[in-house]
Chain A
Amino acid sequence: MKILSQFLSVLHMAVAFIGIIALQALVLITFAHVVLRFGFNSGINWSEEVCSSILMPAFVFLGMALGAQEDIHINVTVLPKSTPKWIFAITERLKDIGFIVVGIVMCYYSYDLILLNLEFENILPATGLNNALQYISMPVAGGMLILVAFLAMFNIKMAKNYVAHICNVDE
């Protein structure tokens, strides 16, 4: 149990740092593109492709799983506070099931897309990288969603939010 909680914390930290690096890379590449375009009359021709087709989906889908783990996704509070606790317990489980269903769809079908792109050797025009890279974060995010929701059903959550601790942010 303790090992699993610890594992979730480490997984969360790894994904958060990948997201932070992707975010910083997005800013730097776009800024460098603008500077080079004005300073040297020639921008980075692969900047748009790398930013919008590779880095953006990476941090969006990993962020989606991270949001599920930290329970920060927006939901609507329609049920009044006086609702019996057992109803809230059921909705919590339903939420976990919802995460698992979405996770399975993400894992299964994105894996299919990756295989398809690899088989037909579809490439991105500017970088020449395989199209499969666009979907590479999806099975990872899907897998993380399944794992986090499945363990949450047994009340196993991450031991500590190390990133929030390092950054001095409220968890």
Chain B
Amino acid sequence: MVVDTMGICILLGGFALLLILRIPVTFSLLLASLGTTLYLGLEPGFLIINMSKGVMNFSLLAIPFFIIAGGIMCHGGITTRILDFSNIIVGRFRGGLAQVNVLGSMFFGGVSGSAVADVSTVGSMMIPMMDQKGYDKDYSVAVTVSSACQGIIIPPSHNMILYAFAAGGGVSVGRLFLGGVLPGIMLGIFLMVVSYVIAVRRGYPSEKGVGFKKALKISTDAFLGLFTFLIIMLGITLGIFTATESAAVACIYALVITTCVYRTMTFRRLIQICYESLRTLAVVMSLIAAAYVYGMLLSRLRIPALATEGLLSISDNTIMLLLLINVVLVALGCIMDMAPLILICTPIIYPVVVQTLGMSPIQFGIMLLLNLGIGLCTPPVGSALFVGCAVGKAKIEKVSKALLPFYFTMILMLILITFIPQLSTTIPDWLMPEI
């Protein structure tokens, strides 16, 4: 294989150098690609055509739709209802509010699909409440931050669409969504067990129960909001509509429910949601456009094939290789945000793991997302950790220490996902078998 070392240096080294110089990831990708394009003697118009091509993809429209739907649910009062509903189910356990926090995040993650949105909305309600009931602040923030991690693997998650796109479009978004259900629920249960053990040791209180009538009203109210999740999952699983269409329907449904039933949505608030979504999308979608160009050059320089060769030269033991990949991904997750890592790492690691080691693309997707999700909770750049600390007014060092048992739990779940394919493939194989 002919290796263009200079081209690879410009593409990878240039990108790394620009990142160190604090150039935003999108522009680092574009500038490194521009340098490589010029070095390879291609027309810079190559960049423009591929940037457009990267975003002119109907399935990518699901990302803005999911983000808007999440925004509507966040601002439309669904979070309060979900937390009330969670309180009915798990509030009476020891450390009830921590349990409510984890279960609420599990439901909310299914609606918003964003860990950071989860921390800021659930956290801003739960952390002061836990504070009032005598929970230690570092513990409250640690529970909120770690439980928000579930949102990434519990469907619908726009990060899953990013992965499906970066994997070259050969991965079904519907199967990916279903693949995240079992690991997401398991992670939630593990986190609840850890929270319970700590709560018992520290003597945190449990919550009082509510009457049957009130419980029924709360459940009905919450169900209307949670139905958004069902629309998406049933719509895709039963083949009624595509992921993109289901996201658009979910947007309109959420808008109707919050406007007509909850009566919490106003026109001004809707514009606010659209503007906030636009800001998020400005970052995510331009990253997609840049990563598409970068990905084209990666394959032109045969970097994925070289990565496969390099990894196989370290060891031909599958277990060792998977552990190594996990370590690299967790380490990268500690220094870079999730979306750019999905877009940059998938084209390089996917061929190694899926084509050479024979891992299912669904299993790899869930593994990758959880890996990067752990990164969101770790310093120095874990955005979920930062938001959690800001909301809870807690110190990062103290929260990081309180997070240790939760890190251990998440890493345990990661190992289970990595080595037990059935965890992520059973439900998709059962409900949406590959044709």
Contact = CB atoms under 8 A, between A and B. Distances in A.
A74 B245 contact: no
Interface in A5-31: 16, 19-20, 23-24, 26-27, 30-31
Say what secondary structure dominates the interface of chain A.
Answer: helix
B204 interface: no
A73 B282 CA distance: 8
Interface string A26-65: 1100110110000000000000100111001101110110
A98 B21 CA distance: 11
Interface in B252-286: 252, 268, 271-272, 274-279, 281-283, 285-286
B305 interface: no
B22 A109 contact: no
Contacts of B22: 75-79, 88, 91-92, 94-95
Given A33-B245, A73-B27, A169 B275 contact: yes
Interface in B48-68: 48-49, 51-52, 55-58, 60-61, 64-65, 68
A57 to B, nearest CB: 5
Say what secondary structure dominates the interface of chain B.
Answer: helix
B61 A26 contact: yes
B210 interface: no
Nearest to A168: B272
B64 A26 contact: yes
A166 interface: yes
Contacts of B126: none
Given A73-B283, A75-B24, A101-B31, A169 B272 contact: yes
Contact of A91 (B21, B31, B64, B245): B21
Contacts of A102: 27, 30-31, 34
Cβ-closest 7 pairs across A and B:
A63-B282, A73-B24, A64-B286, A67-B282, A30-B248, A167-B272, A91-B22
Given A23-B281, A60-B286, A101-B31, 5 more contacts: A27-B248, A64-B286, A73-B25, A94-B21, A109-B47
10 contacts: A20-B271, A26-B64, A27-B64, A31-B252, A56-B60, A60-B55, A68-B24, A74-B340, A76-B25, A109-B43
Interface of A: 16, 19-20, 23-24, 26-27, 30-31, 33-34, 48, 51-53, 56-57, 59-61, 63-64, 66-68, 70, 72-79, 88, 91-92, 94-95, 98-99, 101-102, 105-106, 108-110, 112-113, 134-135, 138, 163-164, 166-169
Interface of B: 18-28, 30-31, 34, 43-45, 47-49, 51-52, 55-58, 60-61, 64-65, 68, 241, 244-245, 248-249, 251-252, 268, 271-272, 274-279, 281-283, 285-289, 335-337, 339-340, 380-381
